[in-house]
Amino acid sequence: MKKIGIFVLMVIVLLDYSLIGQSVRAEYNNHDYGDSWTVQCLQYSATASPNSAASYTRYGARGYAEQWALNFNSNYKHLSSDCTNFVSQAMHDGGEYPMQFQSPKWYMERHWWGWTWSNSWTVIGDLINFVYAENWGYGYCVSPGYSSSAWYGDIITYDWNGDGIWDHASMETVYNGHDPNSGVYGDLVDQHTTNRKHAIWTLQPYNPNWQTTIYGILHLYY
């Protein structure tokens, strides 16, 4: 009887923990989302096996982001909306993820007549779908606070208005630092559009809606 009682208690605790996890996720996902990443906010999974054919050098990606946060690398085309282009560059040039020219594609290439690139290289929602398709990582949603919970080289994603579309991306580069412009303490990111180095990861005060923005972490396997 004692063993049965302990077993029942353990089941109750596990169920309660599961419900707590669901309620926390739901707090940041009470929206009519339509793309695969935002569905993952409610049903994300960290159980996918990493792609053994690709190994991510997160310190290299971080180093690239630090080097080019405030400038543009002429080896890549500069875009007016450059945030995802910037993190893709860091993933490839610093993180050593290989470009993919077969479906699913992820590349930017210069030709004698101009540039070509995949949407997954320059649009954050498409990059997320590509990372999932290649088993390069997984995503989860987080609430604003001093720590983003991301690792070096992870990508922070932002839905400014809760419409289910990710609008912006940055890269985690510093744990526990001060934003040199705002003085806010916490994890820091590098980004393009607008170019910033060591910005607080929530982008306050640059983002006036930082308290209601939906934040995601795209964690890349290494």
CA-nearest of 77, 78, 58, 107 to 195 is: 78
Residue 3 domain flag: no
Q: Is the peptide bond before 194 cis (omega within 30 degrees of 0)?
A: yes
Residue 7 domain flag: no
What tens digit of pLDDT does each residue of 127-137 get?
A: 999 998 999 99
Residue 20 domain flag: no
Q: Give the confidence band of 199 by pLDDT, cuts at 50, 70, 90.
A: very high
**200 bridge partner residues:** 188
- Whether the CB-CB separation of 122 and 193 falls below 8 Å is answered with no
Residue 15 domain flag: no
Which has the minimum average pLDDT: 45-54, 193-202, 203-212? Answer: 45-54
Q: Give the confidence band of 82 by pLDDT, cuts at 50, 70, 90.
A: very high
Which has the minimum average pLDDT: 74-78, 91-95, 139-143, 189-193? Answer: 139-143
Residue 116 domain flag: yes
Q: How many Å apart are CA 15 and CA 182, to the nearest integer?
A: 42
Q: How many Å apart are CA 80 and CA 201, to the nearest integer?
A: 22
Q: φ, ψ for residue 29 (rounded to 5)?
A: -140, 30
Percent of the chain whose predicted confidence (pLDDT) is above 90? 59
Residue 170 domain flag: yes
- Whether the CB-CB separation of 186 and 176 falls below 8 Å is answered with yes
Percent of the chain whose predicted confidence (pLDDT) is above 70? 76
The pTM is what? Answer: 0.80
What tens digit of pLDDT does each residue of 83-119 get?
A: 999 999 999 999 999 999 999 999 999 999 999 999 9
- Predicted confidence at residue 53, as pLDDT, reads 62
| Highest averaged pLDDT of the listed ranges 13-17, 20-24, 143-147, 174-178 | 174-178
Beta strand spans in 76-167 (E): 108-111, 114-117, 137-142, 155-159
What tens digit of pLDDT does each residue of 135-168 get?
A: 999 888 888 887 878 999 999 999 998 888 899 9
CA-nearest of 94, 93, 82 to 152 is: 94
Residue 89 domain flag: yes
Q: Structural domain of residue 56, as residue ranges?
A: 31-220
Instruction: Kindly report the average pLDDT of the chain as a whole number.
Output: 81
**How many independent structural domains does the chain possess?**
1
Residue 62 domain flag: yes
If one counts every other C-beta atom within 10 angstroms of the C-beta of residue 101, the result is: 10
Three-state secondary structure call for residue 5: helix
Q: Residue range 41-65: average pLDDT? A: 74
